[in-house]
Structure 1
């Protein structure tokens, strides 16, 4: 009987914990609005200037 409850917790709780971990990692790595604007501006300034060897 205890084994059934244990497997139920593992089957239900595992994907929930995995989803929460992926959500927190993805949320932490997003660029702020200021970082995004700075990256866009530098990309526009350097457009076509890089040389490929």
Structure 2
């Protein structure tokens, strides 16, 4: 599993209107609804990175 440091270079000064923890069915739908409402959303996921083949 690869870990990402969200506090590293490139994140300084980023602001979000909402943070969704978990990208499962409910988290994904929440993020979708929030972005469609015009909010800037950050989604955090602890699980493994899924790649589409």
TM-score greater than 0.5 by the shorter chain: no
More strand by share: 2
More helix by share: 1
Q: Which has the higher contact order (CA 8 A, sep 6+)?
A: 2
